[in-house]
Amino acid sequence: MNLEELNAIAHSERLAQAQKRHHLHVCVGTACQALNSEQIAKALQAALKQRGQQQDAAVKCVGCPGLCSLGPLVEVISKEDSAGPRSLLYQFVKPEDADEIVAHLGGEPVKRLETPLDQPFFTRQLKIVLENCGKVDPERIEDYIAIGGYQALMKVLTEMTPQQVIDEITHSGLRGRGGAGFPTGLKWGTVAKADPNRYPTNVPEGIQSRKFVICNGDEGDPGAFMDRSVMEGDPHRVLEGMAIAGYAVGANYGFIYVRAEYPLAVKRLRTAIRQAQRAGLLGSNIGGTPFSFNVEIRLGAGAFVCGEETALIASIEGGRGLPRPRPPFPAEFGLWGCPTLINNVETLANVPPIILKGADWFASIGTEKSKGTKVFALTGQVKHTGLIEVPMGITLREIVFDIGGGMPEGKSFKAVQTGGPSGGCIPAEFLDMPVDYESLAKVGSIMGSGGMIVMDDSTDMVEVARFFMEFCMDESCGKCIPCRAGTVQIHRLLTKIQQGQATERDLQTLEELCDLVKHTSLCGLGQSAPNPVISTLKYFREEYLAKIKREASFSTNGKRVEEHV
Amino acid sequence: MVNQLNRPPSPAGNGQPDARLLSDKRYKLIEATMRRYGYQGHGLIEALHSAQEAFGYLDDFTLRHIARTLRLPPSKVFGVATFYNYFTLKPQGAHTCVVCLGTACYIKGAREVLNAIEAAHQVKAGGTTADNQLSLLTARCFGSCALAPVITFDGETIGKVSPDHVADLIAQRLVGASQVLEHAEP
């Protein structure tokens, strides 16, 4: 397929869509699907048929529009209406409501289901990565092409050299969205320059490439579902980003590593790859140019450590997901010994808009060192839970209280946890801090992949630290001793504190152990595992002390024995 | 990519493949997966996935069969199968209930939900009930955090469960499922 053919598809698809006066978008993301949204789509179709409005309106299954706590969601976009063009959002829709919704098309909205679209949850967001989620049908490539999909790929293939693509990404200031925030352009440049013959390689038969692109979709972080929503809601965007990356670094083969726990994302990605191959947007000689690029899906099997890049490579090679020391970095010595580019799903999804709208546009969003937007999965004790995308530099207060709508009735804010088991708890005093890589690191947390869990005053912070340490203990791969043994000992100490049997001395040991594990572990899992403990010790020390002091008073007056027997 | 020549010969000895491989059609599914990767070692995890999908768990025979076909030492296959949480070496009950213990679910009381199921159905997390009807498992996160706390029953996601009702919810589904089976039988 070349550019003219691509434009022709886009044009005919847009014409077909323009004929309908009303578009009914039903969310079929995992959360809404669990609440029967597919039945709603069917019921809406049936209602349209019954009322003879099929020519007039179309039902489309779309990815996640974000406000999962009010799901299942149905958005009605009307071109011409008594009140002009407008959008309506219906919340908590049930299949029985379908007929009423259809009956009210073009007239008054169904008041009992309507939720305003101008609430801060929507107006305070800025969508780049998620701009298509909730708008395109993830299972139809034509729909993606109609809104300008694959134009960026065509642009780089026909107008830009690989070096120009890398320069554009470098100038945009895009940084890795997986957590550590490594500059993406720099990584791409290193892989592009790497010599595939420097190290001995053992690429399996049948794969004709000496460099690779890997999309890291192993979102193991509990409480995070950004990558899942992007892969489910806009899979073609990920494929397009991968193909552009492949062109820039000189790779002809890509892997998407997805968790097996995300069956819907796997299914949609498989469909998307098949459609793109059939359309000639993946495969040999894309767009009539000499560039070839193939993508294969590899399933994870439930190991948190596989989010670490060297462990992920070991897993794709068919082995246990064990990390190895770096350097050499995967950019020089990666999959089967070849130079390998590993980027997170969200990073790659940022690439097509940067190519189309330019690096300057992207660099104008965000703060000095953190450009663009970040997707967060906002969950926990907050009114509106769901998926949000905000410009870098927004304050935590705006996220929790404006977009999230604040705490549920009668609860008060205590802390927000970012970065999952690798991150820390941020107390109320830092609510006005801007959210960017540096600021979060300064207060002892990390940006992480984007999980953001709000905790209220009833949350026991020692228990939270213990919960995360239990997670890291289970997920430690066992290769290096500080992580394998250290996490177990830290967990044991936290349990002891929780049971009221710890002394001041144990607290000191805990701090020493955290420091040791942080500085001597082999990979990111161990190095960041103590973060939840360190940050809660720093900001909520009195909770630890309270549990110790109680023990001390028991032992002095001799009651402790009675309490525990 | 497909390379039939890569297929190793039948196990040494009588030169005939094991009778189980011939009689059980499910081995053909695993075979297809391994063939797709040219019987090369990097297809191991995918082969284990299709084996688990076909049999529900990975038994000794299947692991040895995969090791032989991919020309890998059985120790490596066993190592990979036990490294990843997704694979199970124990047979599962007729129905599977998975409780999410991810952070968002945990904060909203997933531990109490798990305790309630354990108490009502007489089963520990990771185990199967005595009548082989229900396997209770835990997971790290389904990514459906907006519905926390979440459980899945035979793949169906059930959100916003409460410790008070969850045991009945599962009991109803167990009864419902067996009734459907009874109706299906001629």
B149 in reach of chain A (CB within 8 A): no
Cβ atoms of A62 and A26 within 8 Å: the answer is yes
Pick from B158, B107, B161: nearest CA to A381: B107
Q: Distance from B81 to chain A by nearest Cα, in Å? A: 9
Select from A299, A380, A417 the Cβ nearest to the Cβ of B49.
Answer: A299
Q: How far apart are CA B85 and CA B102, in angstroms?
A: 15
Predicted local distance difference test score (pLDDT) of residue B180: 54
Predicted local distance difference test score (pLDDT) of residue B166: 86
Size of interface A-B (CB pairs under 8 A): 141
Q: Distance from A529 to chain B by nearest Cα, in Å? A: 15
Question: In this structure, are strands A86-90 and A114-115 parallel, antiparallel, or unpaired?
Answer: antiparallel
Select from B42, B49, B150 the Cβ nearest to the Cβ of A260.
Answer: B49
**C-alpha of B63 from chain center:** 14
Predicted local distance difference test score (pLDDT) of residue A21: 86
Which residues between 117 and 146 in chain A have a beta carbon less than 8 angstroms from any beta carbon of chain B?
A: none
pTM score of the predicted model = 0.90
Predicted local distance difference test score (pLDDT) of residue A182: 92
Indicate yes or no: CB of B143 within 8 angstroms of CB of A261. yes
Find tokens 């939720």 and name the residue: A115
**CA dist list (Å): A381 to A91, A159, B144:** 20, 49, 15
Which residues of B fall within a CB distance of 8 Å from A223?
Answer: 102-104, 141, 145
Q: Distance from A57 to chain B by nearest Cα, in Å? A: 30
Question: In this structure, are strands A424-427 and A413-418 parallel, antiparallel, or unpaired?
Answer: antiparallel
Find tokens 């998975």 and name the residue: B98
Q: How far apart are CA A316 and CA A261, in angstroms?
A: 17
Residue B25 banded pLDDT, cuts 50, 70, 90: confident
Predicted local distance difference test score (pLDDT) of residue A563: 42
Predicted local distance difference test score (pLDDT) of residue B156: 81
B180 in reach of chain A (CB within 8 A): no
Cβ atoms of A268 and A219 within 8 Å: the answer is no
Pick from A249, A349, A255, A228: nearest CA to A291: A249
Would you write out chain A's pLDDT as a tens digit for each of its 565 residues? 788 899 999 999 998 888 888 889 999 888 888 888 889 999 999 998 988 888 888 899 998 888 888 888 999 988 765 566 788 899 999 999 988 888 888 788 888 898 888 888 888 899 999 999 888 999 999 999 999 999 999 999 999 999 999 999 999 999 999 878 899 999 999 999 999 999 999 999 889 899 999 999 998 888 888 999 999 999 999 999 999 999 999 999 999 999 988 888 999 999 999 999 999 999 999 988 999 999 999 999 988 999 999 999 999 999 999 999 989 999 999 999 999 999 999 999 999 999 999 999 999 999 999 999 999 999 888 989 889 999 999 999 999 999 999 888 888 999 999 988 889 999 999 999 999 999 999 998 888 888 899 999 888 999 999 999 999 999 999 999 999 999 999 999 999 999 989 999 999 999 999 999 999 999 999 999 999 999 999 999 999 999 986 545 454 544 444 444 3
Domains and CATH numbers, chain A: 18-117 (3.40.30.10), 148-363 (3.40.50.11540), 373-458 (3.10.20.600), 462-557 (1.20.1440.230)
Which residues between 1 and 30 in chain B have a beta carbon less than 8 angstroms from any beta carbon of chain A?
A: 1-3, 6
Find tokens 């498989």 and name the residue: A270
A345 in reach of chain B (CB within 8 A): no
B143 in reach of chain A (CB within 8 A): yes
A297 in reach of chain B (CB within 8 A): no
Indicate yes or no: CB of B144 within 8 angstroms of CB of A34. yes
Select from B49, B106, B146 the Cβ nearest to the Cβ of A467.
Answer: B106
Beta bridge partners of B97: B136, B153
Predicted local distance difference test score (pLDDT) of residue A31: 83
- Output the average pLDDT for chain B: 83
Select from B1, B84, B148 the Cβ nearest to the Cβ of A303.
Answer: B84
Is the pLDDT assigned to residue B186 strictly greater than 60? no
- CATH number for the segment(s) B95-184: 3.40.30.10
Predicted local distance difference test score (pLDDT) of residue A481: 95
A318 in reach of chain B (CB within 8 A): yes
Residue B1 banded pLDDT, cuts 50, 70, 90: very low
Q: Which helix (H) or strand (E) holds A419?
A: none
Cβ atoms of A104 and A76 within 8 Å: the answer is no
Q: Distance from B58 to chain A by nearest Cα, in Å? A: 14
Which residues of B fall within a CB distance of 8 Å from A320?
Answer: 79-80, 83-84
B141 in reach of chain A (CB within 8 A): yes
Which residues between 42 and 81 in chain A have a beta carbon less than 8 angstroms from any beta carbon of chain B?
A: 68-69, 71
Which residues between 75 and 134 in chain B have a beta carbon less than 8 angstroms from any beta carbon of chain A?
A: 76, 79-80, 83-87, 101-104, 106-108
Indicate yes or no: CB of A420 within 8 angstroms of CB of B3. no
Select from A204, A304, A315 the Cβ nearest to the Cβ of B45.
Answer: A315
Predicted local distance difference test score (pLDDT) of residue A83: 60
| Mutation target among B57, B70, B89, B140 for the A interface, most CBs of A within 10 A | B140
Indicate yes or no: CB of A223 within 8 angstroms of CB of B38. no
Beta bridge partners of B48: none
Q: Which helix (H) or strand (E) holds A75?
A: strand A74-78
Cβ atoms of A216 and A446 within 8 Å: the answer is no
Amino acid, res. B44: L
Q: Distance from A240 to chain B by nearest Cα, in Å? A: 24
Indicate yes or no: CB of B140 within 8 angstroms of CB of A304. yes
